[in-house]
Amino acid sequence: MRGYSLVLSDELQSEYHNFIHGKSYNRELIEKLLHYYKPSILTNTAQLERICIQIDNNLYTKLRKAGYTNQTLEELVKKTDYKIILSTDKDQYPYVNINNDKIENNLSGCFFRNENRQKAIDHIAALCSKTDTIYIYDRYF
């Protein structure tokens, strides 16, 4: 199990599960989630148990063998490509609030002159943590 892009908060993981399994779901929430969606989503057995999602033994075994068991969402996100957790209520990195956030669906952001850029700095640092070459374009950098 590799190549994960992001993590979902418990609330969004539950809604996403309902959506992909044809159960009742919050349409507005799913539309906002899909605006940010990049395949594939990383989860673990602890999150699925917290939100009472029954999974088949095959997936459960795969998650356990891959070591995705009891990590916090903040620990889990470090194993993804985009290093973000989609959420509906948190704004601090590594969280991206799907209802209103500076980080956009193309994972860019616009910060004005006197605005705090720490979230962007933290996100860029996480993205660059395991790279060999980095190209940055910023007219004001």
Each residue of 40-97: pLDDT tens digit? 999 999 999 999 999 889 999 999 999 999 999 999 999 998 999 999 999 999 999 9
CA distance 103 to 61: 34
- DSSP letters along 18-80, please? HHHTT----HHHHHHHHHH--S-EE--HHHHHHTT----HHHHHHHHHTT-SS--HHHHGGGS
**Residue 78, in any domain of the structure:** yes
Q: Which domain, by its residues, includes 116?
A: 6-128
Number of domains in the chain: 1
Residue 1 has a pLDDT of 45
**Residue 136, in any domain of the structure:** no
